Amino acid sequence: MAIPRTRDDIERDILEIFGEDFGPSSRSRYESEADMEYYSENVAVNSNEDNFGDNLNDERGDNQAFQSEVTPGEEWTLHSRTENTFEYGNNGDVFLIPPDSSTPFDYFRLLFCDDILGDIVKATNESAVEILIQSTCVHSRISQWKELDISELLVFLGILFHMGNIKVNKYTDYWRKHYLYNLFSHQFMSKNRFLLIFRCLKFGDANIHHLIDHFNNIMPTLFIPGENLCIDESMILHRGRSGIRQYIKGKRHKYGIKLYILATPTGMSLQIHMYQGKRDSQVGGPGHVDKVVTKLMSKYLNAGYHLYMDNFYNSVGLAEFLLRNKTNMTGTLRSRRKGNPSIVCNTKLKKGESIYRYNTHGVCVCKWHDKRDVLTISTKHTPELKAITNRRGQTILKPEIVIQYNNFMNGVDRQDQMLSYYTCEHKTMRWYKKVGIHVFQMMLLNAFYLYKLHKNVQIDYYKFRESVIEILLPRPTRTSKVPKNKKFHIPTHLPRDSKGHTKRRRCKYCWDTKQKRQNTLFYCNFCENQPSLCIDCFKDYHKY
């Protein structure tokens, strides 16, 4: 039978785990005896659990670079002493550089400009030379390499994008002549040429980083987003062996390459960072999540934006840093992040109840109990309960922070949803090629959003893709010409004599073009002079 624990036993355990800050003097931080019991059961016990990897650091706050400026003895209050209102200069999304004409392909070329295409062509040709030098087989496919140019690269991209519309398991199936396949690709590029380009494909001097830098640099020159932004991570499915492969339990693709993305609520991506693990020179190591936020927001600080993030990123210290840079933030919060008000995090609530506190900088931390506790943080929105109508038509009360978070946090998820409909990646790709093709698709999706914004038209993404692909892969022109009488001339066998023999005649086309006497058994009965012609010369003579 378990021996009941006294209040002194609870205080002693808390003191051993958390130090002097949680000694007997901390009783004033809890409103009741029940609060102390809840704290001991849910915090002190959970702190001894075995956690591994980055998640352990995230929970304990070691991954936070910015610490709260509020001193440990400073109290959180029920009313904000500061009103954080920053002037945002635009009325909404602004398109900076409209193209000369207004077709979807023109918007596509805004992002796929000659500069980045030229860099890809140069890097791919250099890669092909290296592979050719290292090749030991005289008859290998690489021995047939010819220099790539921008026009051929655009055809390659057109085939690649169209593979997202028409999906088969293997690249080679697109060139099969079986009646179940017989698809489009052979009309524009041979199978060997496509596979050669794909094998040698590189994205610039720094490979995939060059393409990502191009994306991050060109988007601010084309588009100024509206006030609300969001940051979230996206996974590119990859189960191969790679030092940068990540695991996220809650994602559809649990294993893969992680991209941190700054996006608008509509799904347009603004900045990308490909995470390379703890050894990432830009955002790896201590203070990881705060480095991610500052890197993605580096071009958008001090402009009055409002940033929405989930509990992986948020902390009181980060909120205060963003406030100092004239940026508001809203999001969910982990209960064990440093700087949180203990009275909010540790109070038990019934369904529909909420509790909140403000610090001296105007940062609000609110906990609201729905089906479970929802802990949120905001520097602008209030914890006031407001009535909204849910999907079932029921009117319910939610804090304003939660309502606004649900409205503006889904930008990256919407982008992932749009890309998942027409994905071009195949399983057998090298990881950097898979990332590069994924970035290509993000650029195409951004071109779609820019087109809709500037033209103010209703067009779905599929139609936009088709319009771009039609220019990249124009309809093949037929070399044959139909006569004015809409009838083709066909070869006719020369007449036979009474004995059944045929007297051969000289081919007119061979004699006129090559001065060569070539006898033939056929002539054209439709022409006025009825010339004798070889079977091989028949099309050339009639210019079919």
SS3 annotation, 196-256: HHHHHCCCCCCCHHHHHHHHHHHHHHHEECCCEEEEEEEEEECCCCCCCEEECCCCCCCEE
User: What is the C-alpha to C-alpha distance for residues 534 and 525, in angstroms, rounded to an integer?
Assistant: 14
Q: Are residues 220 and 277 in the same domain?
A: yes
Nearest to 220 by CA among 435, 438, 446: 446
Number of structural domains (the chain) is 4
% of the chain exceeding 70 in pLDDT: 83
The average confidence (pLDDT) of the chain is: 82
Q: Are residues 306 and 339 in the same domain?
A: no
> Would you state the pLDDT for residue 414?
93
Q: Are residues 105 and 76 in the same domain?
A: no
User: What is the C-alpha to C-alpha distance for residues 365 and 358, in angstroms, rounded to an integer?
Assistant: 7
Who has greater pLDDT, 533 or 62? 533
* pLDDT over threshold 90, residue 392: no
Q: Are residues 362 and 379 in the same domain?
A: yes
Q: Are residues 441 and 496 in the same domain?
A: no
* pLDDT over threshold 50, residue 19: no
> Would you state the pLDDT for residue 185?
66
Domain termination site, one of 408, 427, 460:
408
Who has greater pLDDT, 18 or 399? 399
Q: Are residues 236 and 345 in the same domain?
A: no
> Would you state the pLDDT for residue 460?
92
Helix (DSSP H) and strand (DSSP E) numbers for the chain: 17, 17
The domain containing residue 121 runs over which residues? 96-310+409-477
Let me know if residue 19 belongs to a domain. yes
* pLDDT over threshold 60, residue 57: no
> Would you state the pLDDT for residue 378?
95
Per-residue pLDDT tens for 304-353?
999 999 999 999 999 999 999 999 999 999 999 988 998 898 889 999 89
Who has greater pLDDT, 24 or 403? 403
Q: Where are the beta strands (DSSP E) in 103-227?
A: 223-224
- Of 46-60, 77-91, 153-167, 473-487, the poorest mean pLDDT is in 46-60
Q: Are residues 305 and 434 in the same domain?
A: yes
User: What is the C-alpha to C-alpha distance for residues 333 and 317, in angstroms, rounded to an integer?
Assistant: 12
Let me know if residue 55 belongs to a domain. no
* pLDDT over threshold 50, residue 24: no
Question: Binning pLDDT at 50, 70 and 90, where does residue 484 land?
Answer: very low
Q: Are residues 423 and 280 in the same domain?
A: yes
> Would you state the pLDDT for residue 72?
54
% of the chain exceeding 90 in pLDDT: 43
Q: Are residues 506 and 530 in the same domain?
A: yes
* pLDDT over threshold 70, residue 406: yes
Q: Are residues 455 and 517 in the same domain?
A: no
Let me know if residue 316 belongs to a domain. no
Q: Are residues 151 and 221 in the same domain?
A: yes
DSSP 8-state assignment for residue 494: P
Who has greater pLDDT, 498 or 7? 498
Cα first-last separation, the chain: 99
Q: Please compute the mean of the pLDDT values over residues 273-289 and round it to a whole number.
A: 88
The structure's pTM equals: 0.75
Q: Are residues 242 and 182 in the same domain?
A: yes
User: What is the C-alpha to C-alpha distance for residues 408 and 360, in angstroms, rounded to an integer?
Assistant: 26
Domain termination site, one of 434, 454, 477:
477
Let me know if residue 319 belongs to a domain. no
Let me know if residue 358 belongs to a domain. yes
